[in-house]
Amino acid sequence: MTNAATEHIKVRPAAGETDLAAIIRIARATEQEEDFEAVFPAYLRHLADHGRLVVAERSAAVAGYGATLRIGAGPDEICMLTDLFVDPRAHGAGVGQAVLSELWQDQSRRITFASLHAHALPLYTRFGLDAWWPLLYVGGDVRAVRKPDGWSVEAAGADRVAALELSWTGFDRSAEHRFWSAWPAGTGVVASLDGQPVAAGSVGGAPIEYGICHLAIAPDPDPAADRDRVRDAVLAVLSWLQPADGRARACLPAPHPATRALLTAGWRVSEFDLHMSTEFGLLDARRAVLSPGLA
Ligand SMILES: CC(C)(COP(=O)(O)OP(=O)(O)OC[C@H]1O[C@@H](n2cnc3c(N)ncnc32)[C@H](O)[C@@H]1OP(=O)(O)O)[C@@H](O)C(=O)NCCC(=O)NCCS
């Protein structure tokens, strides 16, 4: 999707410390709340190593950046837009469109979590995505969350977590689990019901956004039991956390079974994004517990 508005914009792979500094400048200017010293640079390097990270130049200066990550492989592969941010002085000038035209060319299964910025949803809609459900950033005091009966939780290595997730979902997220485990206060975690592992994920992210990064849950063939299991897995992991200030968060689809339980326990929604995708159901809103940056 190149046109007169975007042809003066050059999109290229991000490379080196100068681009890193330009990306951080744009991230600050667009008011992202990040640990710009350690976590955010590591996140960008992860995207450059495992996905695609590009910058857009306009008038010889970096005016925006974007990134995608492939999740899964073969016909089930999903291409997630993890980031798209443009210098506020260049908003509405076609930079976002130019970046997307480079990142999204032949992938049919596309997802993202769109901000509520007025340009975001229309832009993604034009690239074939529809908005399906809000992803809520739910935060609160872990001491208000009771561990459900029969559950136990233990720390685990990233490779064990990734192997469990692969066996339940078919998705290999080992690179991301290793990345999250290396975060401040990061670790893998396995939750068991009656001694049997049924949930595996990563937690971490201190001092900003500490909480569940991603949690995979073994499916139960009985829909009612599955719903309870998905809810209780989230509650069990959150009740196990011991942050110094007692506070944590999880990013949950609004229809997720744990959402109501946490709001009833006094947790609060601080913000939300809109999940957009080229077809409904690429992510399961009743089961997904994920990171808006890496899914
Ligand atoms: C969202 C963002 C990445 C889009 O980039 P951008 O360079 O501003 O977007 P573009 O100029 O390429 O395209 C915006 C499109 O939205 C359209 N648009 C703007 N307001 C609109 C509205 N209210 N209704 C419908 N369309 C609208 C514009 O007309 C434009 O389309 P056009 O090129 O056909 O005219 C950028 O504005 C940004 O960084 N915003 C702040 C940070 C953020 O929220 N990022 C999104 C994370 S998901």
Q: What is the pLDDT of residues 180-217, one digit of tens each?
A: 999 989 999 999 999 999 999 999 987 778 999 999 99
Residue 290 falls inside a structural domain: no
* Residue 256 pLDDT grade (very low, low, confident, very high; cuts 50, 70, 90): very high
Residue 229 falls inside a structural domain: yes
CA distance 199 to 230: 8
**Looking at 107, 123, 154, which one is the last position of a domain?**
107
Residue 121 falls inside a structural domain: no
Q: What is the pLDDT of residue 209?
A: 84
**Looking at 85, 107, 129, which one is the last position of a domain?**
107
User: By residue range, what is the domain housing residue 57?
Assistant: 10-107
Residue having the nearest C-alpha atom to atom 26 of ligand 1: 122
- Is residue 87 located within the same domain as residue 159? no
- Is residue 147 located within the same domain as residue 81? no
Residue 276 falls inside a structural domain: no
pTM for the model = 0.95
- Is residue 102 located within the same domain as residue 141? no
- Is residue 142 located within the same domain as residue 93? no
Residue 284 falls inside a structural domain: no
Residue 254 falls inside a structural domain: yes
Cα-Cα end-to-end distance for the chain: 26
Residue having the nearest C-alpha atom to atom 5 of ligand 1: 96
Contacts of 3 (CB under 8 A, 6+ apart): 94
- How high does pLDDT run on average in the chain? 96
Number of domains in the chain: 2
* CATH (domain of 23): 3.40.630.30
Strands of 52-58's sheet in order across: 10-13, 52-58, 61-71, 78-86, 110-114, 268-277, 130-141, 247-253, 211-217, 196-204, 187-193, 151-156
The closest-lying atom of ligand 1 relative to the alpha carbon of residue 5 is: 33
CA distance 251 to 9: 34
Q: How many Å lie between the centroid of ligand 1 and the Cα of residue 95? A: 9
CB 235 within 8 A of CB 254: no
